[in-house]
Structure 1
Amino acid sequence: MAKMGRSSSDHTWEPQSLLASPLFAALAAVIRQMPASRFPTLDDLNALLAVRQPAITVSHGHRIEFVPQARGRLAFEAQYEPRCHLSGEVQTRADNWHDLLNALVWLTFPKSKAAINDRHYRALTEGAQQNDLSSQRGSIRDTNTLLDESGVIVVYADDDVARLLRDFRWKELFWQRREQVRSRMGFFLFGHGLYEKALQPYVGMTGQGWLLRVEPDFFAWPLEQQLAYVDESLAAYLSVPAHCRSTRELSPVPLLGVPGWAAENECAAYYDNTHYFRSGRQSSAQCKPLRTAPSSVAG
């Protein structure tokens, strides 16, 4: 497995290599719609938005559009999150991996991305209206930023394997219960910063897991239906103001321990690396997870 070395700016656009990586499985459908021989442009991204049905919108109903990043000192309304919330304009740098991956996540998990933007905007404006400079407002933004940059959605239909993950019992989870993980647990990268790291995976690469209880038949659904379900479920979770207010709601996930996500993890000794597979204190990590399928995607 490659180590951290080159920056993502040195990484060549090779969609076939991304499609071959299990880390990019959630983005596969939109990657296939990108040009094969050159780095995608704003026009390429906006062309996908133009034909998308239903349209991708922010919480106020404005259709999103990928636009060049503004420069210089900006008024509040022109800053990244407010501008996105108020106009649907997602500032995106050209020829930039981080921003391209953010756009691909918007195209894959649109409801969740809109919900995160709404949480940021409310934290910024409601705190200002109330003259509230408390750390609680900062913790809301910190938690949503962590999810947005480093989140991984962990679905599971077996409470025992979920408990092993929450308890940091990595070798028991990923090796001794390997078949249960393969058949009753799934991992969908969400954070665009995490996708950027996945361009050159390295031992130490860790996501911040949001855990979602699903029924066993979830794992027989087509990928498109699975993605729609987790997108709507995460958006519903984020719509509740009491949720996603502390980073302890997320549980660390050493991603290269997931069966099949690194060639080296086919050996039991791989999981003896305690610098990577660390023990730790249990997070709150949705001890009462969502269990009911949103009606529009269930079945």
Structure 2
Amino acid sequence: MNPADAIPASFADRALFEPIAAWLGRFAAPGVPIHAELDALLAQAAPAARSGDGAAIRFVLPAGDVEGYEARIFASGEVPTRSGDWHDFFNALAWCAWPRTKAACNRLHLAELHARTAAGLPGRGPRRDALTQFDECGIVVVSADTEFPALLAAHEWEEALWTRRARLLQSTRFLVFGHGTWDQLRAPFVGLCAKALFRVVDPAWLALPAAQALAETDAWLAAHLTANIDTLTPRSLSPLPLLGIPGVTADNECAAYYRDTRQFRPRRRTTPSAPPT
């Protein structure tokens, strides 16, 4: 990795960092900000950020049992954040960009935990597994063209990302939610994949200022996850090869790139396509 990549601001202009680009640009020194700087940033970017139980969010050093991570956030608003850790730094920025959805995920985690405990069921269960997957590597594909969510869900990669590229760029936005995905995008690798939810919007949405479009999508996503929690499983999230998205790598500027089945695998018959919402 280039030494400049150790500077948060060096990622601000890269594709797929758009939801957090404005905040990345503030940190031009090597390394990630300390807890006090993250708290100050959240207070400015998302002053109403709360846990699933309504506690004000702040970033603290990890302590205690890792299995109590969501419970700690829910009860106290304290988000365990390792010093100097890029993964946890991006999680803090996710709270800045997606405060409603992060709170909804925290609330849904605790509701599912209590429900399974009351029912005597072991383990985390598929709903919590899906919430964690989306928290780590989720992406919202927002399109004013109903064909693109359908094509991507069907793994029609070359058709969606190359043949119809001009229409894709005009009609569709890729908004990363998962903080683990941002961490991996610091040094992208062949096969890097996100878990997608699809949203179809009116074309007027595309003209919204970026901050307004993000806030509106945050509200939609929080409501969508809450309304669909009963059917949420890891298999309900659609895989999306990130290096195929225009602008992520110069390598994808040709049709042959999308014929590499290491990344662009056809959909298995047993894998359900995620329908547009």
Fold shared, TM-score > 0.5 on shorter chain: yes
Counterpart among 81, 84, 95 of residue 95 in structure 1: 84
Amino acid across the alignment from 2:245: V
**Structure-to-structure mapping, 1:14-163, within 5 angstroms:** 14-34=7-27, 36-52=29-45, 54-71=47-64, 73=65, 79-133=68-122, 138-163=125-150
Checking the alignment, whether the CA contact within 8 Å between 2:5 and 2:186 is kept in structure 1 is no
Counterpart among 156, 159, 184 of residue 169 in structure 1: 156
Which runs of 5 or more residues in structure 1 are unaligned?
1-5, 290-299
Which runs of 5 or more residues in structure 2 are unaligned?
none
Checking the alignment, whether the CA contact within 8 Å between 1:42 and 1:66 is kept in structure 2 is yes
Amino acid across the alignment from 2:116: G
1:197 and 2:184 correspond: yes
> In the alignment, what sits opposite 1:294?
none
**Structure-to-structure mapping, 1:3-18, within 5 angstroms:** 12-18=5-11
Checking the alignment, whether the CA contact within 8 Å between 1:161 and 1:177 is kept in structure 2 is no
Checking the alignment, whether the CA contact within 8 Å between 1:238 and 1:244 is kept in structure 2 is no
Shift of 1:41: 0.7
1:231 and 2:224 correspond: no
> In the alignment, what sits opposite 2:227?
240
Checking the alignment, whether the CA contact within 8 Å between 1:170 and 1:277 is kept in structure 2 is yes
Aligned equivalents of 1:132, 1:17: Cα separation in 2: 46
Q: Check 1:152–1:244 CA distance in 2 against 1; reply closer, same or farther (3 A cut).
A: farther
Shift of 1:99: 0.7
Checking the alignment, whether the CA contact within 8 Å between 2:150 and 2:276 is kept in structure 1 is no
- Say which SS state the counterpart of residue 23 (structure 1) adopts: coil
Counterpart among 191, 205, 208 of residue 221 in structure 1: 208
Q: TM-score, normalised by structure 1?
A: 0.85
Amino acid across the alignment from 2:26: Q
Shift of 1:288: 5.5
Q: Check 1:247–1:27 CA distance in 2 against 1; reply closer, same or farther (3 A cut).
A: same
> After alignment, is 45-54 or 170-179 more displaced?
45-54
Q: Check 1:49–1:17 CA distance in 2 against 1; reply closer, same or farther (3 A cut).
A: closer
C-alpha RMSD of the superposition:
2.2
Aligned equivalents of 1:185, 1:128: Cα separation in 2: 41
Q: TM-score, normalised by structure 2?
A: 0.92
Shift of 1:177: 0.5
Percent of residue pairs bearing the same amino acid type? 39
Aligned equivalents of 1:61, 1:31: Cα separation in 2: 27
Aligned equivalents of 2:109, 2:267: Cα separation in 1: 29
Q: Check 1:193–1:244 CA distance in 2 against 1; reply closer, same or farther (3 A cut).
A: farther
> In the alignment, what sits opposite 1:295?
none
Shift of 1:111: 0.7
